Structure 1
Amino acid sequence: MAPTVLITGASQGSGKATALLFARQGYDVVMVAREPERLAAAAAQVQREGTSAMAIAGDVGDIQQVRAIVQKALDTCGNIDVLVNNAGICLAGAIEQTTSEDWQQLMNTNFWGCVNTIQELLPHFLDRKTGTIVNVGSIGGKMPLPQMTAYCASKYAVTGLTETLRLELAPQGIHDWANQPEDIAKAIWDAVKNQRAEVTVGPAFLASEAYRLFPGLMQWAMEKGKL
């Protein structure tokens, strides 16, 4: 039986690319996204890679929908081996222009979307004593970005979630990886295949390392518009 990966935000962009890459590596793929038509088209493309591709439309920010998604996936596939939390939205703007609705939407998708899928799949992973969780992060979860307070807050939350889960779940056979790459699909595969705790590549790596080593200088540069 082929291993199975469940990918959120899978109808386009990095999520779709990840689905295609895992399909080429022999995985059956469960694809989740909010827009049914776009998701169905992406799943049809993945299906042509020769593996099973299952499309389930839903909003990961809604725990009831996530519960139904995970149950349908398990009923159909039997087991889930890898969870890729890729669904996310971005918002740029001054903090005084960021509404409570903006905050709610960002946190629901970027943070609670991860929490909801992990919460629903974790009993399955723990019962099997194996499983891999990949949370796709952002440079905004490693360092502050101007005009992106709400977005950074949501991604810092994902970073904290991921790093703490890793400590708690590793002794139980569950691997939890953070991922913040330029080429997301390849980095996700690298994290799963080689059991890397975190993959950060390209400019994001350089920027996050510079901020880690010289936070004051980097904050000054951003405030002055030098970055």
Structure 2
Amino acid sequence: MALILVTGASSGLGHATATELATQGHDVVVHARTPARVAAPASGGQWAGVVIGDLAETGEITDVARQAAAFGRFDAVIHNAGTMHTPEAATVNTIAPYLLMALMDQPSRLIYLSSSMHRGGSRGLAPLADGTASYSDSKLWVTALAMAVASQWKGTATHAVDPGWVSTRMGGPGATDDLAAGHQTQVWLATDDDITPPTGGYWYHQRTQDPHPAARDLKFQDRLLHALEERTGVRLE
């Protein structure tokens, strides 16, 4: 069985993902913003561990990485945590995954939550520093980050996932996609041994799609990594 970290696992897709993995018998460590937000697996039982911290605060991201490191090297990390609100969107959706990667041992698998809205994101990176990034911007950037890591980190299978527009607290009651299918691709990518392509996929309901062209643009990836290094003071090796 695998040791798996799921960020943003207090509710919605994150909680559903963590619960399904725990039901399968995996050791699941969940992240939540505060202790009060930690809910038990919907299937009963207990988590293998809990890490606490607000991913909208850079200092707390560092502490989350420290807490997670105490569990050892993860087999999979699912970067599920997200927000639609400016100015937190860039920090939670892009900077937090970047910093957690840079500060933790390299896992065997990495899964990043993207969104179909990443297609409306901007190639301009100034909002990453000044706090004006939109949700679409942050999701384009984290998708490009996933593609960059897939090409540069050998030995780690890395993918981005569009879970669909589903009826969670973030998605709202008017969402039209299948909520039950919203977490299944993440679970599959974290655990299955027969995935094609083995790394660098952009997925929607276990099928690959083409992301925004910028996500696979090597020059844009390099600019993004440089901007994230400047923003955080931490280099991704």
TM more than 0.5: yes
* Correspondences of 1:7-46 after superposition (within 5 Å): 7-39=6-38, 42=39, 44-45=40-41
Query: 2: CA distance between counterparts of 1:168 and 1:180?
Result: 22
Moved more, 11-20 or 190-199: 190-199
2:76 paired residue number: 82
Query: 2: CA distance between counterparts of 1:20 and 1:108?
Result: 26
1:163 paired residue number: 147
> What residue ranges of structure 2 are gaps of 5+ in the alignment?
122-132, 165-180, 214-237
Cα deviation, residue 153, structure 1: 0.8
Number of residue pairs aligned between Structure 1 and Structure 2: 181
2:202 paired residue number: 198
2:95 paired residue number: 112
Moved over 6 A (4+): none
Cα deviation, residue 90, structure 1: 1.4
Query: Is this contact kept in 2: 1:61–1:116, CA < 8 A?
Result: no
Cα RMSD, aligned residues only: 2.9
More helix by percentage: 1
Query: Is this contact kept in 1: 2:184–2:205, CA < 8 A?
Result: no
| AA in 2 matched with 1:199 | W
Query: 2: CA distance between counterparts of 1:184 and 1:117?
Result: 24
Which one has a bigger Cα radius of gyration? 1
* Correspondences of 1:1-227 after superposition (within 5 Å): 2-39=1-38, 42=39, 44-45=40-41, 48-49=44-45, 52-75=47-70, 77-91=71-85, 102=86, 104-121=87-104, 124-125=105-106, 131-143=108-120, 150-169=134-153, 172-182=154-164, 183-192=181-190, 193=192, 194-195=194-195, 197-201=201-205
**Percent of pairs identical after alignment?**
24
Report the TM-score when normalising by structure 1: 0.69
Which string of whole-angstrom CA distances, capped at 9 and with x for unpartnered residues, describes residues 137-167 of structure 1?
A: 10011346xxxx7111111111111111111
Cα deviation, residue 46, structure 1: 5.7
The verdict on how the C-alpha distance between 1:150 and 1:80 changes in structure 2, with shifts beyond 3 A counting, is same
Report the TM-score when normalising by structure 2: 0.67
Cα deviation, residue 47, structure 1: 8.1
